[in-house]
Amino acid sequence: MTSTVEIAEIAGVSQATVSRVINNHAGVSPETVQIVNEIIKRLGYEPRPRKARREGGGQLRVKNVAVLMLDGSSQRHPTLAMAKLRGVEQALSAAGMNMILADVSSKQASAPALERRQLDGVLLWGHRASKKLMEKLTGIPAVWLSSHVSSSDGAVSQGNAAIGRLAGEYLLQRDLDRLCFLTVKSDHPGFAARGDGFGYAAHLQGVEIERYESDQDPPFEQMSSRQLEAAVAPLVEGMLRDPRRPIGLFAPDDQITAAIYRQLHRAKIEIGREINVVSCNNEEPYLAGLHPRPATIDLAPELTGRRAVEQLLWSMRRPDDTDRRMELIVEPILIEGDALPESE
């Protein structure tokens, strides 16, 4: 049976160093962590379940988990962000762990606990992590809280295609065969995946969707409300000029939907009669003033936060698998919109 002594000899380090790597303790360079973990995997070493250690013979050390904010994307959706953080905090509290919230979106920003390797796990929130940051996270269990682009520049959609398929199926079930996907340029990798899923659902039923997309700057995440309206206006105008004007529309975000509604009302289009709309995110602040209220897809942000912590805890119990990518998918649910009365 492989022992930590054998691993230490092969790695050329002390047994204490191997123990620190296995237990995710601070004081080991990222390069050494990587070497030791590779040897552990190669030898198939299975560490014994460890008891929480006591510091100075006193109370058990409370583990630290950091939520690393990689960019400003969460600020675009404060309602969703608060719900997701609530789920994270509740799950970590139930597990007896501390939550550290750290903004590392700028080059100047840093997380002291990360620099000192005093973290037992991390939750990543944003669309892209720098190579430098990922190197710092070597050996630390990590789970993504959001759709993102991987280090190899492959988009990770986290169930966004399923969101699009759900929207497509909803409209197709209402015998709407002229469908479109309308969005603005965004750094969110899930928007494109939602559109692809929407198109795929339609294609399976022999329907080809139209796409109305802008390539404006700044991207959606950095737009003011006026900039968003300005970007959406020509897209809606183009859609309404189309000889085969769509009668079913899917927008990947409630904020975009609100801007679309404003343009449709200006054009005196009867929403719910001349065109049916499906939105996404179920954000009350953006849906509250829309009439008729559109169907929207709920992404269960609070549940997502809790499930992310559960996956992280699973990973923390398996230190040999810290380099394994963990994906989080929570099934989306469509929330029906308003039904117009016959006389309206």
CB 86 within 8 A of CB 304: no
Residues in the chain, pLDDT under 70? 1-2, 5, 15-16, 23-27, 47-61, 108-110, 150-158, 320-328, 340-344
Q: Which residues contact 108 (CB under 8 A, 6 or more apart)?
A: none
What are the helix and strand counts (H, E) for the chain?
A: 13, 12
Sorted by sequence, the CB contacts under 8 Å of residue 220 that are 6+ apart come out as 76, 184, 185, 186, 187, 188, 191, 228, 253, 255, 256
Do 294 and 164 have their domain in common?
yes
Q: Are 254 and 283 in contact (CB under 8 A)?
A: yes
Residues 239 and 289 in one domain: yes
Is 336 a domain residue? no
Closest CA to 160 of 217, 105, 107, 199: 199
Residue 344 resides in a domain? no
How far apart (Å, rounded) are the C-alpha atoms in residues 98 and 92? Answer: 7
Residues 245 and 210 occupy one common structural domain: yes
Cα–Cα dist 334/207, whole Å: 21
pLDDT tens digits along 65-85: 999 999 888 888 989 999 999
Q: Is the peptide bond before 49 cis (omega within 30 degrees of 0)?
A: no
Let me know if residue 337 belongs to a domain: no
- Say if 150 falls within a structural domain: yes
What pLDDT is recorded for position 156? 46
Q: pLDDT value at position 178?
A: 97
pLDDT of residue 152: 44
Tell me how far apart the alpha carbons of residues 37 and 20 are, in angstroms, rounded to a whole number. Answer: 11
List C-alpha distances in Å: 83 to 148, 228, 299, 313: 19, 24, 11, 20
Contacts of 111 (CB under 8 A, 6+ apart): 66, 68, 100, 102, 104, 119
Fill in the DSSP letter of residue 152.
T
Q: Do 123 and 227 reside in the same domain of the chain? A: no
H-type alpha helices, the chain:
4-11, 15-22, 30-43, 73-76, 78-94, 112-115, 131-136, 160-172, 189-204, 225-241, 254-266, 284-287, 301-316
In a domain, 188, yes or no: yes
Report if residue 228 sits inside a domain.
Answer: yes
Query: Does 226 share its domain with 175?
Result: yes
The answer to whether the predicted template modeling score (pTM) of the entire model surpasses 0.75 is yes
The pLDDT of residue 42: 84
**Which residue in the block uniquely carries the two structure tokens 């080991």?**
28
Residue 196's domain comprises 160-298
Distance, in Å, from the CA atom of 265 to the CA atom of 308, rounded to the nearest integer, reads 40
